[in-house]
Amino acid sequence: MTRPESGERILVTGAGGQLGKELVKLLNAKGIEVYGLTRNQLDITDCEEVHSLIDQISPTTVIHAAAYTQVDRAESEPEVAFRCNAIGTRNVAVAAARVGAKLVYLSTDYVFDGYGSSSYNEWSETSPINVYGQSKLAGEEFVQQHHNRFFIIRTSWVYGAHGNNFVKTMLKLGAEHGAVRVVEDQVGSPTYTYDLASTIIAMLKTEKYGLYHVSNTGHCSWFEFAQEIFKQAKMEVQVTPIPTSAMPRPAARPAYSVMEPFMLRLNDLPLLPSWQQALQHYLLNNHTD
């Protein structure tokens, strides 16, 4: 790989994921030199490999979107989750700092326990209730310890054109069965990868570093989200609300993980569109893989 002489160079880890693919697509469309690295091209848990590759590319920015996201499986293999989300993030943060690159780290609403009924801002106390959330919070801490020009971006309920997600699952099940059962006692904010990626790219033009909550505005339960999906898709599907207890899973989920975008407002950065508007854009421009 030939190292460019000058100009903006953005390295995206996790480029095979739904956000990573969106970021690479939008960056390319803007004419920005981008290196999208998939899991097969960069093992973030290999410290030497991370340092070698980042030294070689010498990016001006690293967007660290690679993550272990198997929430339920993490309960039975915590070492794997922490090796990727904590140690892997440390490796990327140290290497990015060494070459003087800005760093973006994608985190999650699962750093909160969700026991309350009011939204969390960036200064709210964290208290993850599952291994996945604990490992992502550890990643946040490593970023803060080893880098000084970073954007930590917590987001939630992500969906988009690439990969598997809740919207695609609902559309598939609705078409196949005409009825779905969906949890009604978990509340959060759906986030569209196009809006999330666009916001990240806009933030990179600034020096307004820090911890941000970035999701589409408004909130809903998974049940309400499913209802809106079928309403906008003009599908006649029976949606039955069920409690979380009716669908037991290995990892506990926060019941109320709505995040307040306090830092976006404080830094005069634009808020994302409402989750309903985002869903409409997705369904109208749904070129999926």
Residue 210: closest CA among 168, 265, 150: 150
Find the helix or strand (DSSP H, E) in which 89 lies: helix 89-98
Indicate if the alpha-carbon torsion angle 72, 73, 79, 85 is positive or negative: negative
Residue 162: closest CA among 29, 5, 18, 3: 18
Question: Residue 99: is it exposed, middle or buried by C-beta count within 10 angstroms (0-12/13-18/19+)?
Answer: middle
pLDDT of residue 286: 72
CA atoms within 13 A on the CB side of 154: 30
Question: Which superfamily does CATH assign the domain made up of 9-164+190-218+257-273 to?
Answer: NAD(P)-binding Rossmann-like Domain (3.40.50.720)
Indicate if the alpha-carbon torsion angle 26, 27, 30, 34 is positive or negative: negative
Report pLDDT digits (tens) over 221-268.
999 999 999 999 999 999 999 999 998 999 999 999 999 999 999 999
Q: Scanning the structure block, which residue is given the tokens 């998974």?
A: 222
pLDDT of residue 7: 83
pLDDT of residue 53: 97
pLDDT of residue 3: 45
Residue 257: closest CA among 170, 194, 181, 190: 190
Report pLDDT digits (tens) over 80-92.
999 999 999 999 9
The single-letter code of the amino acid at 72 is D
**Token duo for residue 192:** 């569209």
pLDDT of residue 4: 42
Collapsed DSSP state (helix, strand, coil) of residue 221:
strand
pLDDT of residue 287: 53
Do the Cβ atoms of 144 and 138 come closer than 8 Å?
A: no
pLDDT of residue 1: 43
Q: Mean pLDDT in runs of 10 for the chain (289 residues)? A: 63 97 96 96 97 97 97 98 98 98 98 96 98 98 97 97 94 96 97 98 96 98 98 96 94 97 97 98 79
Backbone angles phi, psi at 239, to 5 degrees: -110, 115
Q: Is 132 one of the annotated active-site residues of the chain? A: yes
Rounded to whole angstroms, the Cα distance separating 250 from 46 reads 29
Show the CA angle centred on residue 168, arms to residues 167 and 174, nearest 5°.
90
Q: Which of 110, 132, 194, 212 is catalytic?
A: 132
Backbone angles phi, psi at 198, to 5 degrees: -60, -40
Domain boundaries, the chain: 9-164+190-218+257-273
